[in-house]
Structure 1
Amino acid sequence: MRAPIALVDCNNFYASCERVFRPRLHGLPVVVLSNNDGCVIARSQEAIDLGITMGMPAHHIPPETRRHGLELCSSNYELYGDMSARVLATLHTFTPLVEPYSIDESWLGFEGFDTSTLAAHCHDLRHTVHRWTGLPVSVGIAPTRTLAKLANRHAKKHPGTGGVFMLEGVHHPETQALLARTPVGDIWGIGGRVAVRLQALGIDTALALAQAQPSWLRQQFSVVLERTARELCGINCIEMNDAPDSRKMIMTSRSFGKVTSNRRDIEEAVRAHASNSALRLRAQRSLAGAVMVMLRTNPHMRHLSQDHTRITLPLPWPTDNTFDIVRTAQNALARLWKPQRIVYQKCGVQLMDLVDIDGQQLDVFQTPQSNDERQRSDHLMATLDQLNARFGRHTVTVGMQRSDADWQLRCAYRSNRWTTRWDELPGARLT
């Protein structure tokens, strides 16, 4: 029998991160807003209870919610990313088999663990994560990933579980009852349209899907739905490497805090996006062969000239060097730039033609870097990354990045980056 799989999910992750360093927010409704403080992307349970929905524009949040102490927070991805890394580091102390699934979720494997003590082990894991990071998590344990998702959802919604729920077996009465009360639309990987089609065919619960003929599901829908049904029956069919390869390109783009026609501002934004893309490129040990730069106006400002343009330029050779990538991105912007004053809302930089750093193949017409040049480049980039990791992001940058430039995000409600900025570290007070 295959070892159980656990899904660890941080509860209301963004809102919980905001509460770690601001205890006064506990018990209050907390809402996290998207880039430029546009719409709701995360909510605490108290905010959910007030009827605030995901995607709600910030200016549509009912004014009366303020009477309940509603706290608006600008997205603080630097803090969230660092807190996610701390959770991952903690999980690795409980099992060597940890696979991050998203910023707030991870799969855990328990090969060789005693299943009779596994629930207690995961309770200890949950308490340790909370003690070391301040973040609450829920743990679902089951024979397959799809069942672990359902178990995690049950653990999160039922306080009596203590935040940990383990499905004993597919045919266990408790498992069958959970499947019977789970709507088919709540199953991991089943979208709204597929759910509607299944319901029209009388398959409206997870139990009904598990009892459907797998070959019929494959014929009528897809192999993906067949796998999901088999997973509900306890047959492990979904592996993490079934996910699409995300290393074909890297895109960094963002709407400006204010629309602008200032070339200096846009050059600065392109430079920052190219630098961030290069950092991500090195993190996944890839090299890029080309750079695409995109500019876009606001389609809702129809009284102004509209423009949505892009250009792709090759790099001299596959590289992860920030300076080469920034230089090529700036050359691309120079070719895109129009002399008339067009007001832009967004720009982006995309790295393309990615290859693995250890599997690079040179074109016969390409001039390769010498070993010395490559070693100097690697050493320089490693030093750059170490300085920024030690002293905070953007400690060392290519060119200036003004915090008050029009392209910078609006973040009127952003909390401190408590764990990554020296000047924003939390203070301690003796009493």
Structure 2
Amino acid sequence: MYALVDCNNFFVSCERTLDSSLEDRPVVVLSNNDGCVVSRSKEAKDLGIPMAAPAFKYKDLFKEYDVKVLSAKFELYNFKSQQVIDIAKSYVMDHEVYSIDELFLDLTGFKYIDIFTYCLEIRNTIKSQANIPVSIGVAPTKTLCKVANRIVKQYPEKFEGVYILDTPDKIEKALKWLDIGDVWGIGRKLSMKMQDHGVYKAWDLLQKPEMWVRKVMGIHGVRMINELKGIRQLDLDTPSPKKSIAVTRSFMEMLANKEDLRERVETFGMYCSEKLRKQNTCCKMITVFVQTNRFRKDLPEYKNAVTQILPNPTNSSILMGKVVNELFENIYREGFYYKRAGVIVNDFVPESERQINLFEEDTQNQHLPAMKAMDALNKKFGKDKVRLGSMSGNNTFGRAKLSPEYEAFLKNNILPEANFRFH
């Protein structure tokens, strides 16, 4: 059996750990640059506020119903996520972190333990120690765990936050209740195609011949059917090494000044080099791109990207900054208002296995002591406390609705760097 631990309205729940007055009132958390709604409390959902709603379109509704609108606190969410993961994984031998607010636990071999009571203990421990409410769905497969978890969240009053799909009758009843569009792995387009063929519920999909499923969905569909039948097809995965690292941002305000844009792009390059050092790798390829606002038809449009292959792999912020600056100079054009930019690094090699070009000077090792010292100080005293002179130290996310209390919280608490992307 597997168990899926899913944090309820995670970002909002994290906010409530800082401010208890947010309990039982509508709360929404906004995305980068305070653009769209990325998390809603139950009270906000009941008001009809959809996920990914543009904040500016709902500001009248926010005001009418006194909805608390908050900027995303990425550092806090990562911190609370690590707390939940550490607590949950201590109860099992194997686990898989699926996202910032979800992880699977392997309950295989728990034959002489009451799984419901055990999962209830996990849930209560997370609530008492991390103050985050979670729902736990238990089933023979990961796909059925998703179904069980949806049932818990749909009918919280019927369960104590834990639901187990452990019999054929329970599974059949659940699949006859679940809409085909809510099956894990079926998107909106495929859902519409299914409905055109009379497949409205998950159970309807099981009634289709395997040849039809293979034709419409490929081998992925066959695996999905087996998972829904309780036949395990998806094992727990270990995180695979990253094949690329990207730091990209949309700016709150369009940038027309060349030096302002240059500073942002160089800062993105520094962040890429920090991530490379964190996983003890070097990159051999760097890409820089810039882009104007494609939604502003009244302004001239421009976008461009350029890539450079390095003679020697590097993770030095100094070398990275020089290359990024050269690439930026190649693609920057005067007279445009830039809305988005980014740096992408690819083609990784382990730091200890760098192959040096005999005809190019290698200064990577000269920078290592300074880079290690900078990383150590930033880990101890907080992000960007020690940085290169070309970096302003300003946050790359526009978050206008951060409270003074949270700013004070960050100064007094060194939170770990996010392990998850938030955009």
Normalised to the residue count of structure 1, the TM-score between the two structures is 0.87
Q: Which residue in 1 is equivalent to 2:380?
A: 390
- CA offset digits 1:138-189 (Å, max 9, x no partner): 11111110001111111222222111111113x1x22211111111111000
Q: Are residues 378 and 154 of structure 1, via their aligned partners in 2, closer, same or farther at CA, if it must alter by over 3 Å?
A: farther
Q: Is the 8 A contact 1:40 1:55 kept in 2?
A: yes
- For 1:320 and 1:420, locate their aligned partners in 2 and report how far apart those are by CA, in whole Å: 31
Q: Are residues 290 and 203 of structure 1, via their aligned partners in 2, closer, same or farther at CA, if it must alter by over 3 Å?
A: same
- Structure 1 residues not aligned, in runs of 5+: 426-431
Q: Which residue in 2 is equivalent to 1:428?
A: none
Does 1:224 pair with 2:220?
yes
Of residues 265, 280, 283, the one that matches 1:288 is 283
- For 2:226 and 2:349, locate their aligned partners in 1 and report how far apart those are by CA, in whole Å: 35
- Aligned 1:114-153 pairs, distance under 5 A: 114=111, 116-153=113-150
Q: Which residue in 1 is equivalent to 2:419?
A: none
Q: Is the 8 A contact 1:12 1:43 kept in 2?
A: yes
- For 2:32 and 2:60, locate their aligned partners in 1 and report how far apart those are by CA, in whole Å: 21
**Structure 1 residue 241: deviation in Å?**
4.8
**Structure 1 residue 382: deviation in Å?**
3.9
Q: Which residue in 2 is equivalent to 1:259?
A: 254
- Aligned 1:236-275 pairs, distance under 5 A: 236-239=232-235, 241=237, 247-275=242-270
Letter in 2 for 1:315: L
Q: Are residues 150 and 378 of structure 1, via their aligned partners in 2, closer, same or farther at CA, if it must alter by over 3 Å?
A: farther
**Structure 1 residue 287: deviation in Å?**
2.3
Q: Are residues 399 and 114 of structure 1, via their aligned partners in 2, closer, same or farther at CA, if it must alter by over 3 Å?
A: farther
- Aligned 1:50-129 pairs, distance under 5 A: 50-61=47-58, 63-114=60-111, 116-129=113-126
- For 2:408 and 2:88, locate their aligned partners in 1 and report how far apart those are by CA, in whole Å: 19
**Structure 1 residue 332: deviation in Å?**
1.1
Q: SS of the counterpart of 1:61?
A: helix
Q: Which residue in 2 is equivalent to 1:413?
A: 401
Letter in 2 for 1:307: Y
Q: SS of the counterpart of 2:114?
A: helix
Letter in 1 for 2:7: C
**Structure 1 residue 419: deviation in Å?**
9.6
- CA offset digits 1:368-415 (Å, max 9, x no partner): 959xx64x65554444333222222222222354467xx954322124
**Structure 1 residue 263: deviation in Å?**
2.0
**Structure 1 residue 103: deviation in Å?**
1.0
Q: Is the 8 A contact 1:38 1:57 kept in 2?
A: yes
- CA offset digits 1:272-295 (Å, max 9, x no partner): 211222233334443211111111
- Aligned 1:179-218 pairs, distance under 5 A: 179-218=175-214
Normalised to the residue count of structure 2, the TM-score between the two structures is 0.89
Q: Are residues 59 and 239 of structure 1, via their aligned partners in 2, closer, same or farther at CA, if it must alter by over 3 Å?
A: same
Q: Which residue in 2 is equivalent to 1:278?
A: 273
Q: Which residue in 2 is equivalent to 1:362?
A: 355
User: How much is the aligned-residue C-alpha RMSD, in angstroms?
Assistant: 2.7
- For 1:111 and 1:381, locate their aligned partners in 2 and report how far apart those are by CA, in whole Å: 44
- For 1:366 and 1:225, locate their aligned partners in 2 and report how far apart those are by CA, in whole Å: 52
Q: SS of the counterpart of 2:170?
A: helix
Q: Is the 8 A contact 1:271 1:399 kept in 2?
A: no
Q: Is the 8 A contact 1:40 1:58 kept in 2?
A: yes
- For 1:123 and 1:333, locate their aligned partners in 2 and report how far apart those are by CA, in whole Å: 54
**Structure 1 residue 334: deviation in Å?**
2.0
Letter in 1 for 2:210: P
Q: Are residues 423 and 111 of structure 1, via their aligned partners in 2, closer, same or farther at CA, if it must alter by over 3 Å?
A: same
- CA offset digits 1:301-330 (Å, max 9, x no partner): 334332201111223322222222222111
Q: Is the 8 A contact 1:184 1:195 kept in 2?
A: yes
Letter in 2 for 1:131: S
Letter in 2 for 1:395: K
Q: Which residue in 2 is equivalent to 1:24?
A: 21
Of residues 282, 301, 321, the one that matches 1:306 is 301
Q: Which residue in 2 is equivalent to 1:40?
A: 37
Does 1:335 pair with 2:335?
no
Q: Is the 8 A contact 1:79 1:419 kept in 2?
A: no
- Structure 2 residues not aligned, in runs of 5+: 415-423
**Structure 1 residue 341: deviation in Å?**
3.4
> How many residues of Structure 1 are paired with residues of Structure 2 in the alignment?
412
Q: Which residue in 2 is equivalent to 1:168?
A: 166
- Aligned 1:2-17 pairs, distance under 5 A: 4-17=1-14
**Structure 1 residue 18: deviation in Å?**
1.0
Q: Are residues 378 and 162 of structure 1, via their aligned partners in 2, closer, same or farther at CA, if it must alter by over 3 Å?
A: farther
| Aligned residues with identical type, % of pairs | 31
- For 2:161 and 2:261, locate their aligned partners in 1 and report how far apart those are by CA, in whole Å: 47
Q: SS of the counterpart of 1:353?
A: strand
- For 1:67 and 1:156, locate their aligned partners in 2 and report how far apart those are by CA, in whole Å: 27
More displaced stretch, 195-204 vs 395-404: 395-404
Q: Are residues 69 and 424 of structure 1, via their aligned partners in 2, closer, same or farther at CA, if it must alter by over 3 Å?
A: farther
- Aligned 1:307-322 pairs, distance under 5 A: 307-322=302-317
Q: SS of the counterpart of 1:316?
A: strand
- CA offset digits 1:207-245 (Å, max 9, x no partner): 2223433343113321111111110111111235599x6
More displaced stretch, 123-132 vs 63-72: 63-72
Q: Is the 8 A contact 1:286 1:320 kept in 2?
A: yes
Letter in 2 for 1:362: Q
- For 1:93 and 1:418, locate their aligned partners in 2 and report how far apart those are by CA, in whole Å: 32
Q: Is the 8 A contact 1:290 1:315 kept in 2?
A: yes
